[in-house]
Structure 1
């Protein structure tokens, strides 16, 4: 079980690295002047590669988390309400991941209408969700 837990933590941390950095690329994309096509294309290439890299990391983190939950019974049974709350956070993170995919598609089409300030705030969402998830897992408040 400790091997599974260790790799789960590694893949979660790696996935979060992508969730932290991809919106930063969006901030830069939102600031690119219209006449700077090369810069825009370079940032889109970086964003696309990062998204393709972080998606398998997310899937591995989810698979190992399910293994821990269902295979070893971690967080199951009475007094484990924290796990249900954490699973809600995981669903929100998956929604955020999907939103990143949609925003990337919007940038690729040249249809983005949001400014860099919006993306700066959007970039803070995974930080808040990480804090909440860690508190649920470590403190187990309910």
Structure 2
């Protein structure tokens, strides 16, 4: 199995990177949609319906599959012999940040369900602030992997 993982390493890495890009695009865009939804739509109006459809499709058809692919191929990379030295800090920093990014994804999913039910309680400003969370996590993840501190 380890020989197969080593042979497939470049492919696993490429697919992982493409999935990360797609996931991050959604992670950055969905809170922005929430800002506009909270500030420009009223429950039941035409804008509300458009935002609901956009948010649903973004999460269901882009973000969820991307997150799954990130996890599957990321775990394949971790399982590849010689790639990760768990005695260093960087893999732990990345792992914690990826878990936090996954939590943020789930938090966004819960907010989408609130919008869909017409029960959003948060203002656009709060969504703007929360949109900084994935930026910080992305910085930690990229620096961890590239610099390997």
- TM-score between both structures, scaled by the size of structure 1: 0.93
Which residue pairs with 2:66 in the alignment? 57
Distance 1:73 1:67, change over 3 A: farther
**Runs (4+) off by over 6 Å:** none
Q: 1:69 touches 1:76 (CA, 8 Å); kept in 2?
A: no
Unaligned stretches of 5+ residues in structure 1: none
Q: 1:82 touches 1:140 (CA, 8 Å); kept in 2?
A: yes
Q: Can you list the C-alpha shifts for 1:8-45, whole angstroms capped at 9, x where unaligned? A: 11101110000000001000111124277100100110
Aligned residues: 140
Q: Can you list the C-alpha shifts for 1:42-89, whole angstroms capped at 9, x where unaligned? A: 0110000000121011100110010000133421343x2210110000
Unaligned stretches of 5+ residues in structure 2: 1-8
Aligned CA RMSD, in angstroms, stands at: 1.4
The alignment partner of 2:47 has SS state of helix
Which residue pairs with 1:19 in the alignment? 27
- TM-score between both structures, scaled by the size of structure 2: 0.89
